[in-house]
Each structure stands twice: as structure tokens, then as C-alpha cells.
Amino acid sequence: MRILFVAPEGIPFSKTGGLGDVIGGLPKELAALGHEVAVLLPHYRGTKIEPKIVHESLTVPVGEALRFPSVVGGFKLDGVRYDFLDDPEYFDRDTLYGGPAGDYPDNPERFAEFSRAALEYAKLVWRPDVIHCHDWQTALLPVFRKTAYATDPVLSQIPTVLTIHNLGYQGLFPPSVLDRIGLPRRLFTIQGMEFYGRVNFLKGAIIFTDWLTTVSRGYAKEIQTPEYGCGLDGVIAHRAGRLTGILNGVDYEAWSPETDRLILANYSASDLSGKAVCKRDLLDRFGLPARHAARPLVGIISRFVDQKGFDLLVEAADEILKEDVQIVALGTGMPEYEEFFRKLAARHPEQVSVRITYDNGLAHKIEAGADLFLMPSRYEPCGLNQIYSLRYGTLPLVRATGGLEDTVEPYDPKTGEGTGFMFKDYKAQTLVACLREAVRVWGDRQAWLRLQANAMARDFSWRASAMQYVDLYTRAKKERIPLAWASSVQSGVGGEARAAAESSRKG
């Protein structure tokens, strides 16, 4: 099968978060399973490639204007073909989506061009059996396909799959954006892309895509509820028959303590001595006294945003530090959380240290050197760091939500089994109680070692997930969209879309 990935970021070319890791890992695994896979990404300033021209110019309407981006790349890496949309005015920028002043104001145009260009690419450069889009930045692809390209003889035969990596980011813009990106105003209805007075890109894709996935089974259920649905639970629930949760895999070539070149000493489940070396190295790098090495070291690697549960930590920090643990934190994000960590470190210089930066090498060193990994997320579609932590024998302490609940097995004091620690209620005191339990287990070396051995033995490699995606692509190819549904979309928005949107409002 020929599978086209259209994504706004992917390692090793661009990354701001977990989506970048997924686009680095899944296509490679599909290729290893014998499929032909191409990945189309924007050509950002930081994308280090030889910009060999593959296609001189695609003609892409963006609002009133015509743009003529080219396609560069065309090389293979790990069996996967990579192409990049080259439009310097839109993508030759230092960061992917925006800077400290906020998102780029022309993000709708940038990603409308990218999504529409991807359809042209699928027609003219590399013709796939299925197109797999990711998140709000490529959400317009299924929308264009079922509107401007609804009668296109080639594209109307190619099913689309959209993966929601994080429902918290929907691409919300004022109504005037429809003219700016060249979508008909008739889409601005409750049955279409209207969302409380604004245009919602992701909602458009949820309605128009043939198939939907998200990155864990738990999250697939959660997003159909008002608590986690971010206002789209009704629309999503209506398409539940077309929604699957497929857990992300991780790339153990990059994230294994046995072979990791970014850590000071390698180690394995059968010989953990290197982990102690990594812990001393980590304390040293973060300027924390090693005399505390006998106490648990808590690691945090994260975007500093509300999603990740930092408001709980703000409330719980003093109680946690009474347990005589140390904390190393790495991340960037909301100024109030950066400030919180700086102040906490200033008040507890022997216990807390923070690096406000993005540093992949340091992320590996934290995974290897910490004893516990803290991830008290308010919601978590899949989460990668807790899975990396398992492999490094760094026991994750997580909140029971989404992918965290699907990947971490909570310690059971009766049997001594488990791979980490878990709390349910989103409250500072439950987080503190859970951490106290972890510290108590830390005091029992045999119990701790058993949990570490369990954790390190778990396997979340891409193979099983990639096979589930292949099943889905095969179904998508076979099961044509019912004719009535396709024609109602061509003549506006109706049928399934209307019912979906109405149930969204009720939700």
C-alpha cells in the first residue's frame, strides 16, 4: 500500500513535541512492514536538508492569491521518502508556529497552503492509496478534499485519516479567515466549521475526514465526554464509528539505556550500575549536591503548560520537598510556570534545579539519571516521556488519564506488582499522597528493584501500533464513504455533518 503522511513536524527535520516523534517513528515502521511511505513536511529554516527540487511549482490558491510553492527533498531515509513544501515567505522562519509574542498571525494561510498543496502533491508528485493527516495544521486537507476537490477524479478516490494528537489545539480563527484561505462562507454554520463564533479547523476535519484516530484508547473514549472534549465531544461522539484509539509507539533506537550515546554510562535491567553513574552526573550538571544521592531524584521534562498539571505542582511543591526528595526540571512554556520553577530553585537550592530551555541531550540524561519521573497531567492524549521513563527504569508517577493510564501499571502494595505510581483525583493532596507512597517504596530496595525490572521489560515499540494503522488504512481503502454522504458534502454541509454538529452543541 502507498501511504502519504502530511504533517507539520517530524524528526529528524522538525519537532516541537510528541507529534514530531510520531512522524519520525511510525512511517519508518510502516516501511519496515513492506509499505511504500512518503512524508510531506514544511521546509522550515531549521530543516537541515539538501533542497533538491522535486517539483518546480505547485499552483495553490490561498484566498484571492495564487501561490507557487515548490517541492524539495525526494530522498529516502530508513525506507521512507521525504518531501518538503518550500515557500520561504511562509516557512523560512526561526520557529514553527510562533514566537514569544504568540502564534504567527498568518498561521491560517501558512497551513491552508500546506494542506492544499499536499492534495496537489498527491495528484502530481506521489499518488497514495491513503492520506494520513495530523492535528489542526493539516486539518484543512480533508475539508478541501470534500469541498474544492469533491469531484476531482483522483483525489475523491483517496481516503483521508486524521489523527488527533492533542484536542487542546484546534486552530481557532475569526470568521474572516474563510475568505483569507479560500473556503466558502457557507461552511460557517453550526453544521460546518463554526465554533462559538469562530472558525475551527479541527472541527472541519472531524466532520469531513473519512477516518479519525487518536493516540490512545483511553483518550479516544475521553474526548467523547464534556470533561475532555474541549467543546467538540458531541461532534466526535457522533463520528465514534469512525474513530479508533491507537497507542503511539516509541523509538527504542533513540531511547534505550543499553545503547543511548547521550548518557554518561549505559546500563540494562540486569546491571543497573550505570544508572547510579548517570544519577551522579545529572546531579552534577544541575548543580545539586550529591550527598543527597541516597534520596529519590524526581525528573520533569515538559512543556510548561496547564495541560501537564503544573498548577498541582505549584500547590504541592512544599509538601513534596518535605519528603527530602530532589527535583530536576527541564522545560519551557508559560512564564508563570517558568517563574515558579526559578523561585522554587532559589528557595531550595540544594533540592531543586531547573533548566528553562529545550535540550534533547539533557532530556536523555534526566530519563537515565532520575529515579522517579513526574507527569501529573490534567489530560494526556498518549505521552511519550512516561514510556521512555519505563525503559530507563525511572518509575513514572502519573495521573490516571488518557495514555498515562494505558501505559503505566500502578504499584499494587498487596502483590508488589506494577511499573509506576498513579493517582486519580486532580488534587494537590492526592499527588502528595502518591509521591509519599513512592518514597516509602523507595525505602524498600527489593520492592523498588522489582518495579524497575517490570518497567524496563515493557515493550511499546512501533510494530504493534503500525499493524493497527495498516488495518485501518486497509479498511479505509475498502469501505467507500456512502454516496449520500459524499453528495451532501458537495452541495454544502448536510446529513451526517449536520447531525454531528447539532449533537456537538447539545454536548
State the residues that interact with ligand ADP by CB under 6 A: 17-18, 21, 301-303, 330-332, 358-360, 363, 382-385
Nearest CB to ligand ADP, comparing residues 21 and 405 = 21
Q: How far is the CB of 10 from ligand ADP (least distance, A)?
A: 13
Nearest CB to ligand ADP, comparing residues 142 and 383 = 383
Q: Which residues pair with 160 in a beta bridge?
A: 131
Nearest CB to ligand ADP, comparing residues 91 and 392 = 392
Nearest CB to ligand ADP, comparing residues 320 and 329 = 329
Task: Supply the DSSP symbol for 480.
Answer: P
Q: How far is the CB of 169 from ligand ADP (least distance, A)?
A: 10
Q: How far is the CB of 305 from ligand ADP (least distance, A)?
A: 8
Nearest CB to ligand ADP, comparing residues 246 and 382 = 382
Nearest CB to ligand ADP, comparing residues 109 and 260 = 260
CB-based closest residue to ligand ADP? 18
CA distance 208 to 56: 30
CA distance 460 to 445: 26
Nearest CB to ligand ADP, comparing residues 86 and 380 = 380
Q: How far is the CB of 355 from ligand ADP (least distance, A)?
A: 8
Q: Provide DSSP, 328-360.
A: EEEEEE-HHHHHHHHHHHHH-TTTEEEE-S--H
CA distance 420 to 383: 15
Angstrom distances, CA of residue 199 to CA of 147, 235, 283, 344: 16, 15, 48, 40
SS3 of 238, please? helix
What are phi and psi for residue 90, nearest 5 degrees? -95, -35
Half-sphere exposure of 176 (CA within 13 A, CB side): 2
Give kind and range of the element (H or E) at residue 24: helix 18-32
C-beta pairs of 477-484 under 8 Å, 24+ apart in sequence: 477/1, 477/129, 477/130, 477/159, 481/159, 481/210
Q: How far is the CB of 282 from ligand ADP (least distance, A)?
A: 14
Q: What is the dihedral of CA 113, 117, 119, 125, to 10 degrees?
A: -170
Nearest CB to ligand ADP, comparing residues 194 and 251 = 251
Q: How far is the CB of 302 from ligand ADP (least distance, A)?
A: 6
Q: How far is the CB of 396 from ligand ADP (least distance, A)?
A: 11
Half-sphere exposure of 108 (CA within 13 A, CB side): 21
Q: Which of 219, 274, 270 is nearest to 247 (CA)?
A: 219
Nearest CB to ligand ADP, comparing residues 36 and 338 = 338
CA distance 467 to 179: 40
Nearest CB to ligand ADP, comparing residues 121 and 337 = 337
Q: How far is the CB of 17 from ligand ADP (least distance, A)?
A: 3
Q: How far is the CB of 31 from ligand ADP (least distance, A)?
A: 21
CA distance 217 to 215: 7
Q: How far is the CB of 435 from ligand ADP (least distance, A)?
A: 20
Answer positive or negative: Cα dihedral of 69, 168, 213, 491.
Answer: negative
